[in-house]
Structure 1
């Protein structure tokens, strides 16, 4: 329901709960935490391009030895 519709129906807003999605579902949250490259960190690195050569070698892909 849109907030305008809620306000028209009940001006006080009683018995209404406005819902939002989870805050940790944001793309930016994947970059938070231990630095990428540190052992046992699954933090997503900030890279200029998503190509094969940009932080996607060993440790990031199963086909290149191992994946953390």
Structure 2
């Protein structure tokens, strides 16, 4: 098993967060009639994260803020 450095982990999480924000934008554009919480639920289902985590990533809250 290969050990993953802290830098690699951080880069992977940043890429994941960017993809989640892109997916949120795509779904918002594709389904403008959907409420924001419905889009968040859809994104959460696709990426296997909780809706609250997806909301925090999209809003750049807490540990999901870009430094």
More helix by share: 2
Could you say whether these structures have the same fold, taking a TM-score greater than 0.5 normalized by the shorter chain as the test? Answer: no
Q: Which has the larger radius of gyration?
A: 1
- What TM-score range do you get, normalising by the shorter chain? under 0.3
Query: With structure 1 as the length reference, what TM-score do the two structures score?
Result: 0.21
